[in-house]
Amino acid sequence: MLVGATLGFATVSGTAMAGEADVTAVALRTGSTYSFSVTVRHADEGWEHYANRWEVLSLDGKVLATRVLAHPHVNEQPFTRSLSGVKLPAGTKEVRLRANDKVHGVGGVELIVDLATGKSRQADGGRS
């Protein structure tokens, strides 16, 4: 089953984009394991400053899966990358998605996704 959600932004300034990496959308496929397609927005500047991974976390902050981003996406913004075969602990109803960049680490916009519906909402604690 394919479910998805998008978080829209009315305005994003160049300065805001140059900061932390933001998760802006997610689509997931369910089955015996999960597949996540996550859209990240970050003003990648080259090999020294780019979004280098995104993570699936439990609501209490445990990293459940990581998608490493192997290179900068300077001319492709926002960009979407997928991770398949994700096994989640029994009883997991929601997960948190966050992105990381090489300079700032985590701290950008994060999404919480309801695994039953695919609907997402912005997580508290991330930059808005």
- CA neighbor of 95 nearest in space, from 69, 126, 125, 121: 121
Q: Residue 70: its pLDDT value, please?
A: 86
Determine the average pLDDT of the residues in 62-78: 89
Helix, strand, coil share (%) of the chain residues, nearest 5: 5, 45, 50
The tokens for 96 are: 């948190």
67 or 9, which is more confident? Answer: 67
pLDDT digits (tens, 9 = 90+) for 1-36: 445 544 433 223 333 345 788 999 999 999 889 999
CA distances from 41 to 38, 112, 116 (A): 10, 17, 25
DSSP summary character for residue 16: H
Cα 49 to Cα 65: distance, rounded to the nearest angstrom: 22
The tokens for 11 are: 């305005």
CA angle 62, 63, 65 (to 5 degrees): 145
Set out the domains of the chain in order of their start, with CATH numbers: 2-122 (2.60.40.150)
Determine the average pLDDT of the residues in 37-65: 92
The tokens for 123 are: 């997580």
pTM of the model: 0.81
